[in-house]
Amino acid sequence: MEITNEQTNEQTVQPNREHKSSVFSLLFGKPEILRNLYSAIEGVEVPPDIPLDINTLSNAFIKGRINDISFILDKRLIVILEYQSTINENMPLRILEYIEALYRKSIDMSNIYNEKRIMIPRPEFIVLYNGEKPFPEKDVLLLSDSFMDTEDLPVENKIYLELIVQVYNINYGHNQEILQKCETLNSYSLLINKIREYTKSGLTLVKSIEAGIKYCMENNILNDFLREHGTEVINMLFYDYNFDDHVASIKREYFEEGRKEERKEWQGVVADQAAEIADLATENARLREQLAGYR
């Protein structure tokens, strides 16, 4: 791959993100698993006879980045559930766009001009954080924190638009009560934790993901899921780690801080990642044979 001094060919090696695909959305994209996850987070019991309808957005409603998972519980509660490896302070603003699109999807908007009140599902917004930076067990992100000129407002002035996002730290060892109540979430948290351990030990990212999956399968963790989606999981995790975290952070460091003399080093990183991605096709053929041994 040839990379010029003034720009990188980052776009040529990134996966297609038009339809957001992640291990999280693949793993939790079933009503029975979402029911268990929501029950664990909220400390309630959602009976199996309560209908749960997944209505995750497609790019027919939002162009570009698509939300992870959204669902309607008993036609009364609409939940937007996001998984984040970095805390994005613009999450309330993004979710504001999501919820507007979901309401347009679920109700007949032509009726909003009628006098009779339209009853809509109550929204709830949840982010599950699994990044490496320290973060409390639970926190909230507020849309109002993004409003300009609020510092000097008198106390009696009201905020007339608010959106509250609950953020839970689901790293292994955090929020134990939630993880213990949801085996799938606990297992996913363990998988990510093992991958990080292997990476810190000096393995390459692909080898670390492979070792993490092997560990889980040998210890009966996410067995059925990994048998069915093993190589797909490797691809998704590889892309997410390389481009959303590692490469992006290096790019910010070199480009936003004006370290132009070090761009060649950044370009080398991109080239190395591109070469590793190219090797994934060969790697996947070998991994399919290896994963088949666990059937």
Q: Which token pair is 61?
A: 């409603």
Nearest by Cα to 28 from 12, 18, 41: 41
- 157 exposed, middle or buried (CB, 10 Å; 0-12, 13-18, 19+)? exposed
> Count of CB atoms within 10 A of residue 159's CB?
11
Q: What is residue 159's predicted lDDT score, i.e. its pLDDT?
A: 79
Rounded CA-CA distance 160/144 in Å is 9
Q: What is residue 3's predicted lDDT score, i.e. its pLDDT?
A: 26
> Count of CB atoms within 10 A of residue 87's CB?
15
Biggest alpha carbon distance in the chain?
A: 67
- Residues 190-248: tens digit of each pLDDT: 999 999 999 899 988 888 888 999 999 999 999 999 988 888 888 888 776 655 455 55
- Residues 252-262: tens digit of each pLDDT: 555 555 555 55
Element (H, E) at 54: strand 52-54
Q: What is residue 89's predicted lDDT score, i.e. its pLDDT?
A: 93
Calculate ∠ Cα 7-276-3, nearest 5°: 20
Nearest by Cα to 18 from 56, 55, 65: 65
Rounded CA-CA distance 52/28 in Å is 13
Q: What is residue 205's predicted lDDT score, i.e. its pLDDT?
A: 83
- Residues 130-174: tens digit of each pLDDT: 988 899 999 999 999 998 877 777 766 677 899 999 999 999 999
Whether the per-residue pLDDT at 288 is higher than 70: the answer is no
Element counts in the chain: helices (H) and strands (E): 10, 6
Rounded CA-CA distance 126/229 in Å is 26
Q: How many residues does the chain have?
A: 295
Find which of 47-61, 86-100, 232-246, 253-267 is predicted with most confidence, using mean pLDDT: 86-100
Using the CB atoms, write b or e for 248-286: b if 16+ within 10 Å.
eebbeebeeeeeeeebeebbebbbebbebbeebeebbee
* Mean of all residue pLDDT scores within the chain: 79
Cross-strand pairs, 168:
128, 138
Rounded CA-CA distance 160/146 in Å is 13
Q: Which token pair is 219?
A: 């210890």
Nearest by Cα to 128 from 95, 91, 85: 85
Q: Which token pair is 128?
A: 């599950």
